[in-house]
Amino acid sequence: MIIRRGETLLAKAALVIGGGIAGIQSALDLADQGFKVYLVEKNPSIGGKMAQLDKTFPTLDCAACIMTPKMVDAGRHPNIELLAYSEVHDVKRDGDVFKVNIVRKPRYVDETKCTGCGVCAQHCPVEAPNEFDEMLGLRKAIYVPFPQAVPLIYTIDKESCIDCGLCEKVCQTKAVDRQQQPREVEVEVGAIIVSTGFDLFDAREKEEYGYGIYPNVITGLTLERLLSASGPTGGHIVRPSDGKIPRSVSFVQCVGSRDERSGNLYCSRVCCMYATKEAILLKEHVPEIDETIFYMDIRAYGKGFEEFYQRAKQEFGINYIRGRVAEITEDPRTQNLLLIVENTETGEILEHEADMVVLSTGFVAPRDEGLAKMLPVPVGDDGFLVASNLKTDPVTTEIEGVFIAGTVEGPKDIPDTVIQASAAAMKASSFLID
Partner 1 sequence: MRGDLARDLEVREVQNLDLGFAEAVAKAGAEKVNLCIQCGACSASCPVGTRSALRTRQVIRRVQLGFRNEVLSHKSLWLCTTCSTCTQRCPRDVNPMETLISVRSLLVEEGYVPPTVRDALEGVFKYGNPWGISRSKRSDWAKDLKVKFVSEGEKTGLLYFVGCAASYDPRAQKVARALVTNLHASGTDFAVLGEKESCCGNEIYALGEKGLFGVLAEENLSLLDRYGVTEIVTTSPHCFNAFKNRYGRKNLAVRHYTQYLADLIDRGRLRFPKKVEKTVTFQDPCYLGKHNDVYDEPRKIIESIPGVRFLELPMSGKRSVCCEGGGGRMWVDVPGERASENRVKEAITMGAEIVAVACPFCLLTFEDAVKTTGNEGRIQVMDLNEIIAKAL
Contacts to partner 1 by CB under 8 A: 207-208, 254, 258-261, 296-297, 322-327, 329, 332, 340-347, 349-351
CB nearer partner 1, residue 120 or residue 325: 325
CB 171 within 8 A of CB 120: yes
CB atoms within 10 A of CB 353: 13
- Collapsing DSSP to helix, strand or coil, 399 comes out as coil
Beta bridge partners, 386, equal none
Q: Around Cβ 266, how many Cβ atoms within 10 Å? A: 17
CB 385 within 8 A of CB 22: no
Name the residue nearer to partner 1 (CB basis): 115 or 344: 344
Residue 215 beta carbon to partner 1: minimum distance, rounded to whole angstroms: 15
Query: What are the E-state strand segments in 169-283?
Result: 183-194, 199-200, 217-219, 248-255
Could you tell me the smallest distance in angstroms from the CB atom of residue 425 to partner 1? 37
SS3 label, residue 15: strand
State the minimum distance, in angstroms, from the CB of residue 352 to partner 1.
10
Which is nearer to partner 1, 207 or 307 (by Cβ)?
207
Alpha-carbon gap, residue 65 to 51, rounded angstroms: 10
Burial-class residue 37 by CB neighbours within 10 Å (0-12, 13-18, 19+).
buried
User: Nearest approach, Cβ of 322 to partner 1 (angstroms)?
Assistant: 7
Q: How far is the CB of 210 from partner 1 (least distance, A)?
A: 8
Residue at 132: amino acid letter: F
Nearer to partner 1, 1 or 349 (CB): 349
How far is the C-alpha of 261 from the C-alpha of 246, rounded, in Å? 31
Q: How far is the CB of 214 from partner 1 (least distance, A)?
A: 11
For residues 361 and 88, give the distance between their C-alpha atoms in angstroms, rounded to a whole number: 28
User: Rounded to the nearest whole angstrom, what is the least distance from the CB of residue 339 to partner 1 in the complex?
Assistant: 9
Of 72 and 326, the one with the shorter C-beta distance to partner 1 is 326
The number of beta carbons lying within 10 Å of the beta carbon of residue 393 is 11
The letter for the amino acid at 162 is: I
Give the residue with the Cβ less far from partner 1, 57 or 363.
363
Complex with partner 1: residue 236 or 322, whichever CB lies closer: 322
